[in-house]
Amino acid sequence: MKKILLTPRLVESESYAEKRDAIDVRWAALLSELSLLPIVLPVSSDPAVYLNEIEIGGVLLTGGNSLSTLESNALSEIRDNQEKRLLELAFKRGLPVLGVCRGAQFLSQYFGASFERKEGHVAVRHALELSASCAASLGEAEEAASGRVVNSYHDFVITEVCEDLEVLARAEDGTVEAFRHSRLPALGVMWHPEREEPFAKNDLRLLARFFSGEAK
């Protein structure tokens, strides 16, 4: 079974005076449905140890915690520093990296992207606008390349990406909803596949194809 390394959000428990790694239990359910084994990387751990000791088949940057460059926060800075190290190691090894929501923001920021705070993207659903040529990378059928409705839970939107990133989908307001790197196995989506009930078939195809290396 292929092992996928997941980064959790970092939260602070006031009642117990603890910093905690936290991850939605639905990620395990979603990955298990695809016969992928989730391995959670604690924020305080060295990514190199996990990559050296465990045969990791891919990396998944999950949501939660705003980027420290967008909202100054000590917890976010800790997570940003670790995920930067993880990305560098993953790309050197040729591992596929999928960023979801905050993970997509971090991935795009790593390569150079522009952001802005925008209303209308929290706890809503909206349609995607994408071309038929991008459909397969996002788990879509070519005949249904536009109009898919996805969830949205982010305060900050990606407005522009660097030339190394290809935009695969935009929201109706023109903000970036999905992208991939032109050379590296890196893909980012701004919606949450794990929050769909039941899981969307498109998202299941997306993850299966991406972590199998079939996505182009």
Active-site choice (83, 140, 177, 194): 194
Q: Verify whether residue 197 is a known catalytic residue.
A: no
Whole-angstrom distance, CA of residue 103 vs CA of residue 83: 9
* 8 Å CB contact between 101 and 150: no
Q: Verify whether residue 162 is a known catalytic residue.
A: no
Q: Verify whether residue 194 is a known catalytic residue.
A: yes
Three-class secondary structure of residue 191 per DSSP: coil
Helix axes 102-111 and 74-93, enclosed angle (nearest 10): 70
Active-site choice (101, 126, 134, 177): 101
Active-site choice (121, 154, 181, 192): 192
Select from 168, 161, 213 the least CA-distant residue to 189.
168
* 8 Å CB contact between 186 and 97: yes
* 8 Å CB contact between 158 and 178: no
Active site residues: 101, 192, 194
